[in-house]
Amino acid sequence: MPQLAIHKDFLHEFAKLEKPVQNRVTEVFAKFEQATHTGLHLEKITGARDDRFRTIRIDQFWRGVVLAPTSGDTYTLLRVLPHDDAYDWAKRRKASVNTATGGIEIRDVAAIDASLPHMKRMAQDTTDRLFAHVKDADMERLGVDEQTLAFARTLTASFQLDAARGLLPPVQWDVLYGLAAGMSPDEVWQELGAAITEEVDPEDLDAAVERSRDRVLLVEGPEELMAALEHPFDLWRIYLHPVQRAVVEASYRGPARISGGPGTGKTVVALHRAHRLARAGGRVLLTTFTSTLAEALDSSLRLLAETDGAGDAAAVLERVRVEHIDRVAHRVFRETHGQPDLLSAQRERQLWEQVIGELGLDLSPAFLAEEWRQVVLSRRVTTADEYLAAKRTGRGRGLSTSQRARVWQAVSAFGERSAERGLWTHETIAEEAARLLEARDDKPFDHVVVDEAQDLHLGQWRLLRAAAAEGPDDVFIAGDTHQRIYGPQVSLAEVGINIRGRSSKLRINYRTTAQILGWSLGLMHGQTVDDMDGGLDSVAGCRSEMRGDEPLLSGFTTWEAELRHLVDTVQGWTETGVLPGEIGVAARSNRAVEQAVSALESAGLPARALAKGTADGESVAVGTMHRMKGLEFRCLAVVGVGGQQLPAPRSITPEDEDPGAHARDLLRERSLLFVACTRAREQLYVSWHQTPSPFIEALLDKN
């Protein structure tokens, strides 16, 4: 009986089809297993370069392109296009099996063949070839086939390879990219994550599809098909690239970490890791920084468990607790102390001002609060002598011994008054929860999996370290320090989490087009960012396989004019078939969010502020840049990126008060813009009024 497989490229394209076409596609392929080849109207294509391609009638205008096996039962749906476009697309392409990975590949053979003579003529004038240092045997070992090899031998510069990204099979292009970047063949092999040990039959498409779970979804019956087509993006986010799968399935002797740029699949890896550990019988805590992200993790975990095919979804979900980190801390705290009385930001500032007034100090509340958090709390300082000896790493303002003594007076007074009144902060609750768990022999979890790890502070890390006993696979960390928008710089070694030798990095972006990613990476160019392990992190090598339009950049004289153009931009997106629920708008402040929502609604566009709940899937989602964390949209507008709005003046410590805090605040604001821009999948629009933000000035000069 025929079995249907769906290529990921089709899942991405399906969401762009009009609803009637989507419905018809679903109807046709829901009957796939029961229908005969004749009943499905599978037609051969005259003049095709690969006689295994077939077309299937969707309606009078639309056709599906299907790859039929020479032997076996697996038919792979590749595209749905208008009649003539479908035939043209299929005639130009050919399917093959990668001899290194064993996976299926689709390439534009006609385009490669047409470009080869021109490339050879261009290469005649120089002896410098891009891959002169790589042997044919190494190319072949890495799955580069005869046609791609011939093309590669004509290349003289890396920009030619970049231009060929859409022509070559993605895996083979990745191989060439790595070799061109100076990686050895063995390093490239490791990057592929390939683990094929058996001999690969280049004609066995069924086996190739089975090996291609990172690119092809096997559908078991009409219900699974309906689920896949109903939520194509959500479903695809739970599938793994081979490199990701290798990290998920590895056994570690202790804590381990996966890092990588935006859209590289860190969250997917964390989800699969938690799921795998729970399936093995472990008690798992899956946590992240905010409640919104925790809700998204919980939803994705349930989808993963339900589509895993193991039949034990309920049991697996029962063994995984999905909670954001503050809720974990508060829950542990309440078990011993009951409900805490939280010290609000306003009350905290008032208390610091009271202490400063009583002691006659010339220090600001902001400076003392940061000194308390980053030095006293983070290093568990409890006495004056400990504070005088404590390292103040990251604090830009030096203090003499006498100044330290006065600061300690203030910190001690603050702590005493907070204790007298029974007041707690989220930081002190986390520290107390960590102390309680450290004292317990019966740890509540066997494994801890952390997403968006870069935003946690030391107290939260101590809590997580204490939540599971030290041992194999105890702590798994996913994060990107370039996206740190909340927490201070942290060294994992300080809290007893040693990841040396157990750290991996993802480089392929699966969310954002190369154009959007390249522009966004430019925001972080030249910035020094720590890696939470005593070294520096880099976004070098982060890349996308998807091509698209360049970001749209617009400046205006007034905020009102900027809002009017935002409305025009969003309307333009909807007129091209983009649904309102697929559009996001990000701004720096809550006030700007409210005004953007009002402008969109006044124009008859459904809009919803994310502060009032998560995205509803039906309205344009408008939120602060902080609220954009963990979300993604087909089209995204980032507004108010002006010199007066970003960096936000109230979020920047004056340089004369604390140069170190000033530099960290600027980097955090820059990272915030970086996070917002990388939420866009296909279209990115960035606007400002009056002067542009200093973060984008250099990028504007390049345009």
Share of the chain above pLDDT 70, in %: 89
C-alpha pair distances (Å), 311 with each of 238, 279, 308: 17, 11, 8
DSSP string covering 260-326 = ESTTSSHHHHHHHHHHHHHHTT--EEEEESSHHHHHHHHHHHHHHHHHSSSS-HHHHHHTEEEEEHH
Only one residue has tokens 């076996």, namely 72
Give the span between the Cα atoms of 324 and 294, in whole angstroms. 5
Does the pLDDT at position 233 exceed 70? no
pLDDT bin (cut points 50, 70, 90) of residue 41 is low
Structure tokens at 497: 């989490």
Does the pLDDT at position 234 exceed 70? no
pLDDT in tens, 95-113: 999 888 888 999 898 888 8
Mean pLDDT estimate for the chain: 85
Give the span between the Cα atoms of 474 and 453, in whole angstroms. 15
In terms of pLDDT, which residue wins out, 701 or 628? Answer: 628
In terms of pLDDT, which residue wins out, 56 or 566? Answer: 566
Does the pLDDT at position 265 exceed 90? no
pLDDT bin (cut points 50, 70, 90) of residue 663 is confident
pLDDT of residue 39: 45
Other Cβ atoms within 10 Å of 42 Cβ, number: 18
Lowest mean pLDDT among 206-215, 557-566, 690-699: 206-215
pLDDT of residue 676: 94
Structure tokens at 107: 């390439």
pLDDT of residue 236: 57
What are the E-state strand segments in 588-643?
607-609, 620-624, 633-638
pLDDT in tens, 534-590: 666 666 667 776 778 899 999 999 999 999 999 999 999 999 888 899 999 999 999
Structure tokens at 94: 């050919």
Other Cβ atoms within 10 Å of 121 Cβ, number: 10
Does the pLDDT at position 690 exceed 90? yes
Does the pLDDT at position 87 exceed 70? yes
389 and 404 Cβ atoms separated by less than 8 Å: no
If DSSP codes are grouped into helix, strand and coil, which group holds residue 28? Answer: helix
β-pair type (284-288, 320-324): parallel
Strand-pair partners of 585:
622, 637
Give the span between the Cα atoms of 39 and 41, in whole angstroms. 5
508 and 545 Cβ atoms separated by less than 8 Å: yes
In terms of pLDDT, which residue wins out, 263 or 444? Answer: 444
CB pairs under 8 A, 24+ apart, for 223-231?
224/307, 225/4, 225/6, 225/26, 225/29, 225/30, 225/32, 226/26, 226/30, 227/307, 228/6, 228/11, 229/14, 229/22, 229/25, 229/26, 231/303
pLDDT bin (cut points 50, 70, 90) of residue 36 is very low
Structure tokens at 155: 């290349």
If DSSP codes are grouped into helix, strand and coil, which group holds residue 23? Answer: helix
pLDDT in tens, 400-459: 888 888 989 999 999 899 989 999 999 999 999 999 999 999 999 999 999 988 888 889
pLDDT of residue 37: 41
Other Cβ atoms within 10 Å of 541 Cβ, number: 16
pLDDT in tens, 341-378: 998 888 899 999 999 998 888 888 888 888 898 888 88
Backbone angles phi, psi at 546, to 5 degrees: -100, 140
Amino acid identity for residue 393 in this structure: T
pTM of the model: 0.71
Lowest mean pLDDT among 277-291, 496-510, 631-645: 496-510
DSSP string covering 412-462 = HHHHHHHHHTTEE-HHHHHHHHHHHHHT-SS-SBSEEEESSGGG--HHHHH
In terms of pLDDT, which residue wins out, 459 or 1? Answer: 459
Give the span between the Cα atoms of 622 and 570, in whole angstroms. 12
Structure tokens at 468: 């599971």
C-alpha pair distances (Å), 319 with each of 213, 238, 334: 26, 19, 22
Does the pLDDT at position 331 exceed 90? yes
Give the span between the Cα atoms of 563 and 616, in whole angstroms. 23
Give the span between the Cα atoms of 509 and 538, in whole angstroms. 15
pLDDT of residue 196: 53
Only one residue has tokens 């109230």, namely 650
Burial class (CB in 10 A: 0-12, 13-18, 19+), 254: middle
Other Cβ atoms within 10 Å of 676 Cβ, number: 31
C-alpha pair distances (Å), 17 with each of 229, 349, 357, 553: 11, 54, 65, 27
Backbone angles phi, psi at 192, to 5 degrees: -65, -30
